[in-house]
């Protein structure tokens, strides 16, 4: 194993940076390459067929070009739809990002769990299966909050976050049967932890926010245990489409040890 072979982190946009941040804490020396499909953002509004074809195709080409040691699909929408397909076509280990229903169900005291994700994620059978396996006897209330993807993208570009979108999601959950008893909220989109402060301000102290980033980082670290790793400089951040779409991200990327965005 080449010590400079990177871990590929892939998302439609900046959401995967929440996985990156957790990964950096457990593997500080791991070389990373981040692939953001900005030309395809948002995935949440696309069909299953379109997402599957796009993600499998892009990851295949990225794996060929960058020879990563492992790829992480740092996107709930892409993972719940295309994880199996990507695993079938790539030979490296693939780690997905799926809604953290298991830990949420384990910590909820009221047994009522909220889940916010993209339109595509909340309708996936993958999520039905997680609910059936890990939330038996609990109530899982799902709401699509696609505007929060755009809000997180804006926040990382230094723009103001529009609070109304979070309030709409909170109201929608509160109005569902048993919605007032939610004490745990699954952030089932990797973009959403970037809005943790704004979400906490709207949902209040009585609702714990749960996401899968730490668990995914630990999983990657355990799969790569014992492998030599060396970062020789800034990590690369590649985007599909015009590089202008990444304008404004420079500070957020530099803080995380990435060089300026490049075109894939």
- Which residues are known to be catalytic? 75, 189
| d(C-alpha 8, C-alpha 28), whole Å | 15
Closest alpha carbon to 174 in 148, 143, 196, 197:
143
Footprint of ligand DGL on 7-36 (CB under 6 A): 11-13, 15
Min dist CB 127 to ligand DGL, Å, is 11
Spatial neighbors of 49 by CB under 8 A, at least 6 apart, are: none
Min dist CB 113 to ligand DGL, Å, is 18
Pick 41 or 210: Cβ nearer ligand DGL: 41
* Options 23-31, 70-78, 162-170, 251-259: segment touching ligand DGL (CB under 6 A): 70-78
Pick 229 or 261: Cβ nearer ligand DGL: 261
Min dist CB 3 to ligand DGL, Å, is 30
Pick 139 or 190: Cβ nearer ligand DGL: 190
Min dist CB 23 to ligand DGL, Å, is 15
Footprint of ligand DGL on 104-163 (CB under 6 A): 118, 121, 149
Determine, following the binding rule CB under 6 A, whether residue 76 of this chain makes contact with ligand DGL.
Answer: yes
User: How many CB atoms neighbour CB 174 within 10 A?
Assistant: 15
Spatial neighbors of 254 by CB under 8 A, at least 6 apart, are: none
Min dist CB 233 to ligand DGL, Å, is 27
Q: What is the DSSP string of 209-241?
A: EE-SHHHHHHHHHHHTTT------SPBEEEESS
Task: Work out whether the CA dihedral 258, 73, 215, 125 comes out positive or negative.
Answer: positive
Pick 77 or 184: Cβ nearer ligand DGL: 77
If you compute the radius of gyration of the chain from its CA atoms, what whole number of angstroms results?
Answer: 18
The answer to whether the CB of 180 falls within 8 A of the CB of 186 is no
Q: Site for ligand DGL (CB under 6 A): which residue of 191, 203, 213, 239?
A: 191
* DSSP, res 182: -
Determine, following the binding rule CB under 6 A, whether residue 264 of this chain makes contact with ligand DGL.
Answer: no
Q: Site for ligand DGL (CB under 6 A): which residue of 139, 184, 190, 240?
A: 190
Pick 55 or 208: Cβ nearer ligand DGL: 55
Q: Which string of b and e fits 184-210 if b means at least 16 CB within 10 Å?
A: bbbbbbbbbbbbeebbeebbeeebbbb
Pick 131 or 229: Cβ nearer ligand DGL: 131
The answer to whether the CB of 104 falls within 8 A of the CB of 98 is no
The answer to whether the CB of 150 falls within 8 A of the CB of 176 is no
Q: Site for ligand DGL (CB under 6 A): which residue of 140, 189, 194, 195?
A: 189
Residues of the shown chain interacting with ligand DGL in the complex, contacts defined by CB under 6 A:
11-13, 15, 41-44, 75-77, 118, 121, 149, 189-191
């Amino acid at each position: 194993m080449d010590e400079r072979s990177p871990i590929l982190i892939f998302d439609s946009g900046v959401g995967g940076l929440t996985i990156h941040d957790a990964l950096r804490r457990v593997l500080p020396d791991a070389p990373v390459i981040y692939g953001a499909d900005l030309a395809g953002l948002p995935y949440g509004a696309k069909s299953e067929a379109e997402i599957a074809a796009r993600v499998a195709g892009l990851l295949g080409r990225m794996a060929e070009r960058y020879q990563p040691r492992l790829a992480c699909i740092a996107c709930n929408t892409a993972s719940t739809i295309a994880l199996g397909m990507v695993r079938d076509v790539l030979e490296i280990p693939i780690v997905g990002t799926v809604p953290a229903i298991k830990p949420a169900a384990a910590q909820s005291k009221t047994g009522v769990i909220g889940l916010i994700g993209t339109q595509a994620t909340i309708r996936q059978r993958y999520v039905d299966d997680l609910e059936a396996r890990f939330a038996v006897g609990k109530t899982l209330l799902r709401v699509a909050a696609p505007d929060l993807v755009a809000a997180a993208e804006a926040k990382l570009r230094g723009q103001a976050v529009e609070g109304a979108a979070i309030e709409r999601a909170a109201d929608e959950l509160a109005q569902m049967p048993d919605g007032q008893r939610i004490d745990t909220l699954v952030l089932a989109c990797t973009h959403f932890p970037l809005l943790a402060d704004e979400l906490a301000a709207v949902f209040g102290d009585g609702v714990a926010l749960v996401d899968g980033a730490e668990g995914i980082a630990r999983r990657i670290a355990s799969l790569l245990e014992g492998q030599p790793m060396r970062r020789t400089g800034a990590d690369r951040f590649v985007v599909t489409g015009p590089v202008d779409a990444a304008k404004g991200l420079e500070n957020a990327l530099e803080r995380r040890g990435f060089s300026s965005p490049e075109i894939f």
